[in-house]
Structures are given as C-alpha cells and as structure tokens.
C-alpha cells in the first residue's frame, strides 16, 4: 500500500506542486498566477488569477472529439421515457437555457434558484448558469414551501426555474403550488419564474411573472451564448445544507478549484476515463447530484446517467437494467437503496449483464458491514464506501483504485483521500487522537480545491461553525465521530451534532422541531434520529402539549399526531416526516435547559442512557420510556 500513502503524503506536504499539476486537467482561458493563497486563514483561494468556466470544461471542451457521443442519458421510469443527449445536443440545450436566462436579465453573480425533479432541464440550467457566471442554487424537490422560502430569502435569486410536477412511484407530485406558497412567504422573491410544463398536473401561470420554458426554448434553440470566464475563486453555486440551527447554511463553491478537484476524482477515485459511462442515482438537489450526476463525469469527458425513479420500480432490477442498457462503468448509490434491494429476490441481481461495471460506490450515510459484504458477494464486484460532506464537495475518505488498488474492509471507508489532511481530534484537549481512540474527524486547513469557500453571505458563520470546535487550533470539524485502527483504516461513528441522516438525506432536527412547534397545541418538542434497519436513521418527535386536556378526547392523540405530520410535510416536505410522534409532559433537560438528546436517542434504541448527573427532572426520562 506504499503508493497510495505516498501519493497522499505528497498531496499534503507539497500541496502547491501537487495541485498545480492536477490543474492541467482542465482548460484555463487565463493561466493562474499562484496555486494557493492562504494569507487569510481559514479562507483558501486556489489557482489565483486563473480564469476558467465549468460549462466550457464540461461541454464545449469535448465537442471536438465527442460531439456525437452520449453525454447526458436521461432515464425516467416515472414517465417511461429515455432520452440520450449527445455532447452536441447538450451544448445546444445549454446554450438555449443560457439565452433564456440572459433574456430575463440574469447576469454574472446573479443567483438562479432551480427547483426541479430529476429531469434534463435541471442539468441544462445548472450548466447554463455556469456558462454565464450566474450562481445556481438547486433546492431538493422533496423539500416544501417553508424550506424553499428560507432559501429564496437567503439567496435572493433573480429568477427561479421550476415545473408543474415531479413524480414518485408513478404518482405525480405537484411542485407549482409549493413554489407559489414559497414565493408568497418570502420577502425576496424574484420577478420571473420559468416553468417546465411536463403535463403531469394542471398548472396556472401567474401573468407577468411565470414564463413557459418550451416557448422560450423554441425561440433560443440556435443561440450561441459566449462563455463568461470567471476568476477561479468566483462562486459557481450555493447549495443549502442542514446544520444545528433552524437556518440552513449556503455552502458556497468556487469555480476553478471545484473543476480541478472533480476532474481528478473521476480518475483517482472513480477509475473513469473520457468516453466511460457514469451513473449516480442521487438527486440533483443533493451534493452528490451536483458533483457526480452533473459536473464530475461531464468535466472528465464521460457520459452521465440521470435517473428519475426509485430502485424498485418497475422491479428491483432497474438499476442493473440501466447498467446493462447503457454500458455503465461505475455506479454510485446510497446504502439505503442497497438495503432495500436486499429485501427483494436475489435473482434480480443476476438478470442483467453487468460486465461493463467495474465498481459500485456507496456514500451519504454509514455503510453497514453486512450490506457492503452482501452486495459485493452477490455481484462479485468491488464495493467502495466513500465518506464526505456537502461542504467538501468530493470524497474525504475512500479507496482510490485510480491511484492504487488496496484491500478494503467492510465498515471502513478506507483511507484519507489525497488533498485532505484528515485527523481524529479529541474535542476537549484539541489534540490528535492515537490509534483506536474515538474523536472528531477533522481536516487541517487549508481545505483542498473544491471544498466550500465560505457560507453564502456569512464569512463569520463559516469560521465559527467549521473552525471553532477545538481548543487551541483552527481545524475544520466534520461534526462526525471517527477513529483510525492500528492498520490505518478509518471508521465513521456517527454525528457529534443534531444533524440526522434519513435514507442518505441530511436533515436538521432543529428545522423539524421548529415546524412541530408551529402547531398551536404544541408548547415544545424534541426531534431525534433513531437507528433504523433500512433507512439508517429515522426521525422520532416528542411533543409537549400546551395543555394535557387536549389529549382527553378519544382518538385525540392520533388526530394531533396526524396534524403535526401534515404541518411538517407542508413546511419541510415528506422527507422530513418523523416515523413517530409521541406526546410527553416534559422533555429531559439539563439544569441549564439543554435537551438531553443523546439520552432520548439511547432510550429509543433500547440502550443505556448513560451519564445523567446533569438532569433536572429524572421523571422526564420515565415519560419517554412510557411513551415508547
């Protein structure tokens, strides 16, 4: 394993030489003057003075050699449609989308909010924004009006792109009414909305505000929109992610660093080369969708598969059918999807020819040993567990078959990825932990190219949230527990904060609590993540009512729980729905008023609640026990 460790060592010890070399993978319209500016820690600027463009590198750069080869392969089992866009087709659509944006007055630095399901237009508009230097902010389609309004108010977009509906399990899910509500709730709604009419549900356009995409597209189909060359550190996008407060953080990404980091990762981590086909089943609303549905594969001259559908419809062989049909070389999915497949007939895994497939990559949540082992055995393919975050943009820990093949261990995302100076840090002393000692997974700055540059509009929050956790050192905290074993294999041991992970979806418990608390009957609440066999975790809510009398009527409990669920669904979307809503008369708290979440989680998981010396009222724990 010499090579992989040596590669990593070089990337840390001589980072500037390392990244200057990797930067040659992309086209620079103006070469950079300095590889790194780290004069204002913890803010890092990579490839200073260099001018480039994500859309040019993902689309135009490949037109000479790959104009007629597939670039974007769209498969929808929801509306039973498949469209293969060649690189030339993609260029045409992206130029049309860019012309639409320009016509509506969108210029460099403006934000464009994209609220779309897994349809090609999501990629067209992301790339179109990149082309003209506008900053896209894609909002996950599973989120609802309140989430959307919060993001509109923070990003203050000049324009929104949306649609009549998404579809799940063959049933349309209306987007437009949620969008209208969100616009009504927000104080910074844009003047224009472009709507892709899929004809799934009736939709009324608001005169003077809403524009029909098909009409605009027809007008601009032959447009050639010049590329706007951005300085490497100028933002490409803002992607909101959950943290410990009710306000999501706008993770701001740069341009040049991201392009270089993703391009390199396609080879070193994902073993890809130009012409290969890459399939990530993530939604574009999440970071994996940004990095590995849209940008990574396209930047590296690979084709990308965009899939609208679930892993079990029309049957549990659909992922493998797509692999066979489109000669997929690498598949990226989430452990939850595999745990779901495990419940189906194993014969389905052998129905299709998977000879094109080299490896399967899983990320977004812990990959349990049993699931990883099961998948690699039934398919007889290597399974690569990779660990990272919205903030980092690409893997922190992973096997790197493009550097060296190494033996992997189930339950471990293997080793640190080049560029990431990862440590396990003791949260009380701030010192590095030894082997087998649990601590917080941390990254010594400067963060490598492609990682977040700041929180949108809030540098102070960036510094405080990510670099303020350890005494005596300014080191990035991932807010994950972890350890390294005697052989140098890393293990992730859960979050240190109140963020939960439901089926690979990162959710803030505070955001859900705020929604529960808006129900007039609720005085306060605690939402926690509880281990679940399939989804990894599920949310469980404990609510304290303003008056116990509210529960006296027959069926009152169920009725109230259903009402609270509805509030959550309307504000945060169906993804945030707790598995259970339970009523108690008090929450277990410390004497200083902090809810003892870890104790609640332990009780929910039938574990010992641990140290309770700080508890104000021990009977509150009995209530939790009883409610369960």
Q: Which residues make up the interface to ligand PRX (CB under 6 A)?
A: 241, 286-288, 363-367, 385-390, 413, 478, 480, 492, 495, 501, 506
Give how far Cα 603 sits from Cα of 530, 588, 613, 623, Å: 10, 12, 16, 11
Which residue lies nearer to ligand PRX by CB, 46 or 292?
Answer: 292
| Spatial separation of the C-alpha atoms in residues 38 and 31, rounded to whole Å | 19
In angstroms, give the least distance from the CB of 291 to ligand PRX.
8
Omega of the bond prior to 314 within 30 degrees of 0, cis?
Answer: yes
In angstroms, give the least distance from the CB of 77 to ligand PRX.
24
Strands 237-241 and 277-280: unpaired
Which residue lies nearer to ligand PRX by CB, 26 or 492?
Answer: 492
If you write DSSP's letter for every residue of 578-604 in order, what string do you get? Answer: -SEEEEES---BBTTS-B-HHHHHHHH
Which residue lies nearer to ligand PRX by CB, 97 or 118?
Answer: 118
In angstroms, give the least distance from the CB of 478 to ligand PRX.
6
In angstroms, give the least distance from the CB of 297 to ligand PRX.
16
Which residue lies nearer to ligand PRX by CB, 55 or 287?
Answer: 287
Which residue lies nearer to ligand PRX by CB, 344 or 495?
Answer: 495
Which residues make beta-bridge pairs with 422?
A: 443
In angstroms, give the least distance from the CB of 529 to ligand PRX.
10
In angstroms, give the least distance from the CB of 199 to ligand PRX.
32
Name the CA radius of gyration of the chain, rounded: 24
Residue nearest to ligand PRX (CB): 390
How far is the first Cα of the chain from the last one, in angstroms, to the nearest whole number? 49
Residue 532: CB atoms within 10 Å: 17
Which residue lies nearer to ligand PRX by CB, 102 or 496?
Answer: 496
Which residue lies nearer to ligand PRX by CB, 267 or 365?
Answer: 365
Helix (H, G, I), strand (E, B) or coil at 576: helix
Phi, psi angle pair for 395, to nearest 5°: -60, 140
Residue 518: CB atoms within 10 Å: 14
Which residue lies nearer to ligand PRX by CB, 23 or 492?
Answer: 492
Closest CA to 251 of 229, 233, 235, 230: 235
| Spatial separation of the C-alpha atoms in residues 40 and 50, rounded to whole Å | 19
In angstroms, give the least distance from the CB of 133 to ligand PRX.
26
At a CB cut-off of 8 Å and minimum separation 6, what does 411 contact?
Answer: 367, 368, 369, 372, 491
Q: In 91-146, where do the E strands start and end?
A: 111-114, 135-138
Structure tokens at 181: 């509500």
Which residues make beta-bridge pairs with 535?
A: none
Which residues make beta-bridge pairs with 85?
A: 72
In angstroms, give the least distance from the CB of 163 to ligand PRX.
23
In angstroms, give the least distance from the CB of 579 to ligand PRX.
19
In angstroms, give the least distance from the CB of 506 to ligand PRX.
4
In angstroms, give the least distance from the CB of 387 to ligand PRX.
4
Which residue lies nearer to ligand PRX by CB, 152 or 363?
Answer: 363
Structure tokens at 496: 């240190």
Which residue lies nearer to ligand PRX by CB, 95 or 475?
Answer: 475
Q: What stretches of 442-587 show up as alpha helix (H) in DSSP?
A: 459-467, 509-517, 556-572
Neighbouring C-alpha atoms within 13 Å toward the C-beta of 164: 14
Let me know: does 99 contact 225? Beta carbons within 8 Å. yes
In angstroms, give the least distance from the CB of 251 to ligand PRX.
8
Any idea how long the chain is? 628
Which residue lies nearer to ligand PRX by CB, 167 or 572?
Answer: 572
Which residue lies nearer to ligand PRX by CB, 234 or 385?
Answer: 385
Omega of the bond prior to 468 within 30 degrees of 0, cis?
Answer: no
At a CB cut-off of 8 Å and minimum separation 6, what does 280 contact?
Answer: 288, 289, 292, 293, 297, 304, 305, 331, 332, 333
């Amino acid at each position: 394993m010499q090579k992989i460790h040596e590669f990593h060592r070089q990337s840390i010890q001589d980072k500037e030489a390392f990244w200057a070399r990797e930067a040659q993978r992309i086209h620079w319209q103006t070469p950079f003057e300095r590889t790194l500016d780290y004069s204002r820690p913890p803010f890092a600027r990579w490839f200073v003075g260099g001018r480039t463009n994500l859309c040019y590198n993902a689309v135009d750069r490949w037109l000479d050699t790959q104009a007629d080869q597939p670039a974007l392969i769209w498969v929808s089992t929801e509306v039973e449609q498949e469209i293969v866009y060649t690189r030339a087709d993609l260029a045409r659509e992206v130029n049309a989308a860019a012309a639409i944006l320009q016509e509506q007055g969108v210029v460099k630095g403006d934000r464009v909010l994209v609220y779309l399901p897994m349809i090609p237009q999501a990629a067209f508009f992301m790339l179109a924004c990149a082309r003209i230097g506008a900053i896209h902010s894609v909002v996950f389609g599973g989120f609802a009006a309140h989430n959307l309004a919060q993001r509109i108010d923070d990003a203050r977009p000049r324009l929104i792109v949306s649609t009549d509906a998404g579809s799940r399990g063959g049933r349309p899910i209306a987007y437009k009414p949620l969008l209208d509500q969100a616009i009504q709730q927000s104080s910074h709604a844009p003047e224009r909305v472009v709507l892709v009419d899929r004809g799934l549900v009736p939709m009324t356009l608001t005169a003077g505000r809403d524009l029909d995409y098909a009409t605009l597209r027809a007008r601009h189909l032959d447009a050639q929109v010049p590329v706007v060359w951005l300085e490497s550190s100028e933002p490409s996008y803002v992607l909101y992610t959950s943290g410990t407060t009710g306000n999501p953080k706008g993770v701001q990404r740069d341009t040049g660093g991201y392009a270089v980091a993703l391009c390199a990762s396609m080879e070193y981590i994902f073993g890809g080369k130009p012409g290969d086909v890459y399939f990530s089943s993530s939604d574009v609303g999440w970071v994996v969708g940004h990095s590995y549905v849209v940008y990574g594969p396209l930047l590296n001259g690979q084709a990308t598969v965009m899939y609208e559908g679930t892993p079990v419809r029309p049957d549990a062989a659909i992922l493998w059918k797509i692999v066979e049909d489109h000669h997929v070389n690498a598949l990226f999915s989430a452990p939850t999807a595999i745990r779901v497949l495990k419940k189906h007939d194993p014969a389905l895994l052998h129905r299709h020819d998977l000879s094109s497939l080299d490896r399967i990559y899983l990320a977004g949540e812990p990959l349990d040993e049993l699931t990883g082992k099961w998948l690699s055995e039934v398919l007889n393919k290597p399974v690569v567990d990779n660990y990272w975050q919205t903030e980092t943009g690409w893997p922190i820990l992973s096997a790197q078959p493009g550097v060296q093949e190494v033996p992997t261990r189930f339950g471990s995302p293997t080793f640190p990825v080049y560029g990431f100076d990862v440590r396990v840090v003791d949260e009380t002393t701030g010192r590095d932990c030894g082997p087998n000692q649990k601590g917080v997974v941390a990254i010594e700055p400067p963060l490598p190219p492609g990682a977040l540059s700041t929180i949108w509009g809030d540098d102070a929050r960036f510094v405080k949230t990510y670099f303020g956790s350890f005494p005596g050192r300014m080191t990035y905290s991932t807010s994950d527990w972890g350890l390294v074993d005697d052989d140098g294999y890393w293990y992730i041991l859960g979050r240190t904060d109140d963020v939960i992970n439901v089926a690979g979806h990162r959710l803030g418990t505070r955001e859900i609590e705020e929604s529960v608390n808006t129900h007039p009957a609720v005085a306060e609440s605690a939402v926690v993540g509880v281990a679940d066999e399939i989804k990894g975790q599920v949310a469980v809510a404990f609510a304290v009512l303003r008056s116990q009398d509210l529960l006296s009527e027959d069926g009152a409990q169920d009725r109230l729980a259903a009402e609270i669920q509805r509030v959550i669904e309307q504000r945060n979307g169906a993804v945030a729905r707790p598995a259970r809503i339970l009523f108690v008369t008090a929450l277990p708290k410390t004497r200083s008023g902090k809810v003892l979440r870890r104790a609640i989680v332990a009780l929910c998981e039938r574990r010992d609640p641990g140290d309770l010396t700080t508890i104000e009222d021990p009977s509150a724990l009995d209530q939790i026990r009883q409610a369960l």
